[in-house]
A = this chain, B = another copy of it.
Amino acid sequence: MMIRAKVLPFLFCLVVVAFGTKESDLKQCKHQCKVLQQIKEYQREKCYETCEKLYHGEKHEKEEEINSYEGREEGENNPYVFNEEHFITGIETEHGRIRVLLKFSERSKLLKGIENYRFAILEANPKTFVVPNHWDADAVLFVAQGRGTLSLVRKGKRNSFNIGRGDVIKVCAGTTAYLINRDDNEKLVIAKLLRPVSTPGQFQHFFGPGGRQNPESFYSAFSSEILEAALNTRKDRLQRLFGQPREGVIIRASEEQIRVMSQHEQGGIWPFGGESKGSVNIYKQRPLQSNQYGQFYQVDDSNYKQLEDLDISLNFANITEGGMLGPIYSSRATKIAVVVQGEGYFEMACPHLASESESGRHQGSKERETRIGLSYQKVRSKLKRGMVLVIPAGHPFVAVASTNQNLQIVGFNVNARNNEIVPLAGRNNVMSQLEREALELGFGLPAREVEQIFRSQPEEFFFQGPGGRQSGRAAA
């Protein structure tokens, strides 16, 4: 609808206006929802919900609010956890799909700091081909599962290389990329972090190969006389090339096509920028942390130079069954993490949510955003494969594996330069760096007692989790 783009340039603005507090007002309020929806698309349901809440007393709301983070585990009202429902199916065929997570800032204003990043997951069935296309976004890819061959065309050169589980690949904006799943049985699953270069927080795929539709080739958007002149080719031939509907973006490839396109070295050589490799495997790096409860790997600009200008790094945490990671916090990076294997749960302390809900209790105060919190909201959620977490800088968190399988999480760290991971328990935890006097004054207990507690855990970073622990084993 044309009007909208003009009228509401870049904001999502719902205003509910009403003229009384009687039932008829509720009806009016809902009618406005209908009208507003015509100006700017808006989920009518949410609007109705707002109306209901506005007219059915505050007490009800308040209760809900108090329960919203602490009591629930589903992560529904927790802006840091994303489920299946928060993905938009961008492209779906019988052979695979590409799902894009909604804009972070649409979820919560607390995620405004990463609103220019988008997260997507590609899944391609065995023996399939993803049609060549480019995006108006820089992207970092992580192969979560399967074996494929990725081809990138940039600066007039093509580079094809075999990729597998754990590979990290940067793809610059505007690079023409295509992909095969060369495995006979396993899905190829790739997690992508994208940073749009044209419109903040928005990107699109541009398909050159394609036809009249599904996907349309961008060539067919041009007038036919333009194409004839540019390609120096007769209309009927172009009609044959661009005029047919296609079978989708992810399509079945023959054994022979797969075989020919798979003959490449793993990793490959990067033809676009000197001697660095096209990809790097995160599992082949020396772990930053490793013990019987887990391993922690990192890829950053020191072992994969291509990440330098994006200011992004990646972590992979393998938490052994029954083990836990943390509590830790990142000093300046915000982590966008996806569970690639296993189950468990996570907990995080968030002062921003705490201060919001506090000022919610003092309505009308303008301090809402700026109030300094002296308390924390516990954010807790079950974790299972495919869930996405956002862990902002400074926020202490833990992740706990279930007792029956390892929990594996890959994290894309935005704002990665000079990031420090700060341990809050175990060997070298930050509290053990404090002077005795500071501990004494800070905790209000004798320093010796505080020190004893912060020195009881001999492990570092990964620990035995609460489930795997005999309650009698606690040493201190």
Least Cβ–Cβ distance between A265 and chain B, in angstroms = 16
Please list the 6 inter-chain residue pairs (A to B) with the smallest Cβ-Cβ separation, ordered nearest first.
A174-B331, A209-B442, A90-B372, A136-B394, A221-B349, A225-B466
Residue contacts A-B, CB under 8 angstroms, 14 given: A5-B110, A15-B39, A110-B199, A204-B373, A208-B442, A209-B438, A209-B439, A219-B327, A219-B349, A223-B378, A228-B474, A230-B398, A231-B457, A241-B443
Q: Which residues of chain A from 212 to 247 have a CB within 8 Å of any chain B CB?
A: 213-223, 225-226, 228-234, 237-238, 240-241, 244, 246-247
Question: Contact partner of A369 among B202, B425, B474, CB < 8 A?
Answer: B202
A231 touches B456 (CB 8 A): yes
Least Cβ–Cβ distance between A105 and chain B, in angstroms = 6
Categorize the interface residue count of chain A: 35 or more
> Which B residues are CB-close (under 8 A) to A219?
327, 349, 396, 424
CB-CB under 8 A for A474 and B32, given A102-B370, A331-B174: no
B54 touches A441 (CB 8 A): no
B39 touches A16 (CB 8 A): yes
A327 to B393, CA, bound (A): 42
CB-CB under 8 A for A232 and B376, given A209-B439, A443-B211: no
> Which B residues are CB-close (under 8 A) to A106?
9, 366
Q: Is A170's beta carbon under 8 Å from chain B?
A: no
Least Cβ–Cβ distance between A111 and chain B, in angstroms = 8
A7 to B201, CA, bound (A): 19
Beyond contacts A153-B433, A234-B474: 19 other A-B pairs, Cβ-Cβ < 8 A, are A2-B65, A2-B77, A88-B371, A174-B330, A198-B392, A198-B393, A198-B395, A199-B352, A204-B355, A213-B375, A221-B348, A222-B398, A223-B378, A226-B398, A228-B469, A231-B453, A233-B457, A234-B476, A247-B444
> Interface of chain A, helix or strand or loop or mixed?
mixed
Stretch at the interface among A40-48, A275-283, A295-303: A40-48
CB-CB under 8 A for A50 and B39, given A156-B433, A352-B204, A393-B198: yes
Question: Contact partner of A15 among B9, B13, B222, B443, CB < 8 A?
Answer: B13
A2 to B14, CA, bound (A): 15
A364 touches B132 (CB 8 A): no
A331 touches B175 (CB 8 A): yes
Mask, A43-71, CB within 8 Å of B = 1, is 11010011001100010011011001000
Q: Is A148's beta carbon under 8 Å from chain B?
A: no
A393 to B196, CA, bound (A): 10
Q: Is A178's beta carbon under 8 Å from chain B?
A: yes
B132 touches A442 (CB 8 A): yes
CB-CB under 8 A for A474 and B376, given A202-B352, A366-B43: no
